[in-house]
Chains A and B, each alone.
Chain A
Amino acid sequence: MLASSRELPFLPAIDHQAPDLTLDLERTPVPHRNAVTRWYERASDGEDGGSLVIDRSAAGDLFLRFTDGTEFQISAGGRNIGLIAAPEQYTTGDLAAYALGPVLAVALHLQGAALLHASAVVLRNRAVLFAGDSGSGKSTIAALLQREGYTVLSDDVTEVSETLTVAAAMPAIRLWPDAVRALFGDDAAFPDRAPSWDKKVVTVPSPGEERYAVAAVLLLDRHGDVGALTRVTPAVAWRELIAHAYTGRLPDPPMIARIFDLTTHIATQVPVYRFHPPSMAAAHDSGALLESALAEHLR
């Protein structure tokens, strides 16, 4: 449950006594930062908003600063996110893109959530994960299956529990502009999620609090025949999964241990395949084809 200081275009207004997380998008400068140390630094990789620097106070509060000067504070324990500074021209939607993307991921990490860089869709009452790097088609396959009537649990970052279940993450889905055009014909109706990310936002109906057991993980891979599924060994699966641990590089040994546990658990308990996703324009009946190909795991 998430409470916000502003009404976000794609989140329903929430009236909740004790939210898991509060989000304050009013710019509130933090003039005095006592004894912060550099906690994490990521150089720009040309995707996902460029470089990121995280400082940590002695009390455990985190300060995240992005290339464009947008800065957030996350309280120790990850219960509160506050905006410190951002370029003046940024809209609430722009700010939400940061807050509900990488900033929320770090906050959930502080709360103890193990996150994978994957989208998740419900097939026959089970969760199927699509794991891949930025631009590999995670959001697109989720949107495609949503168009065919399937429930999307998350489109980019998925929390997987120790018991290998997934709940719905955000009731919003990010799409590359080409995907929006192919799916809906016109992208004008969709607000930009963030100027530097070149993605669009579409509202997805919230599927509620139910959790779904993970039936399979599909590693998005553009080699081989379109639509083909190739099973990989547990060792190969684990290497791919650990590479897709969303916050696996944060210097946090207890969480690194949890992510190690989770990824080895998935690799040994859940079937993992390489999957060449269909293109937006050509795809139809993708869900039915996947249900058929994965039938033995969806019973």
Chain B
Amino acid sequence: MPPETKLVASNEVLTRMVGDELVLLDLARGVYYGLNPTGARIWELLVEGASIRDAATRLAEEHEVALEEAEREVRRIVEELRERELVTPAGA
């Protein structure tokens, strides 16, 4: 995926913050997921409309890590979310 790709959350997903974790319910399958605080922050940035690169830039600033490292983490989460059809690339 190009770094400028934006993602859209599935209509079938409900999310709630529980403590510092984000829990997700895939209503279509009746399956629950949890995202740790970093994953939760990435989800939040993506559903607010940030591209993969934008999200990585924000994450790098907030966690004081290299942009490449932050982008790897964003892409890893995006892949996991896409595999489970919790997000799709915008316009796809």
Contact = CB atoms under 8 A, between A and B. Distances in A.
Interface of A: 233-235, 237-239, 242, 249, 251, 253, 256-257, 260-261, 264, 267-268
A238 B24 CA distance: 12
B18 A235 contact: yes
A268 B21 CA distance: 11
Contacts of A238: 18, 21, 23
B81 interface: no
Interface of B: 14, 16-21, 23, 25, 27-28, 30, 32, 34
A264 B27 contact: no
Contacts of B32: 242, 260
B34 A239 contact: yes
23 contacts: A234-B18, A234-B21, A235-B18, A237-B18, A238-B23, A239-B34, A242-B32, A249-B30, A251-B30, A253-B28, A256-B25, A256-B27, A256-B30, A257-B14, A257-B25, A257-B27, A260-B14, A260-B16, A260-B25, A260-B32, A261-B14, A261-B16, A268-B19
A261 B19 CA distance: 14
Contacts of B28: 253
Contacts of A239: 34
Nearest to B20: A235
Contacts of A249: 30
Contact of A234 (B14, B19, B25, B27): B19
Contact of B23 (A251, A253, A264): A264
B40 to A, nearest CB: 10
A242 to B, nearest CB: 6
Contacts of B14: 257, 260-261
A238 B15 CA distance: 13
Nearest to A256: B30
Given A234-B19, A260-B16, 13 more contacts: A234-B18, A235-B18, A235-B21, A235-B23, A242-B32, A249-B30, A253-B27, A256-B25, A256-B27, A257-B14, A257-B27, A260-B32, A264-B18
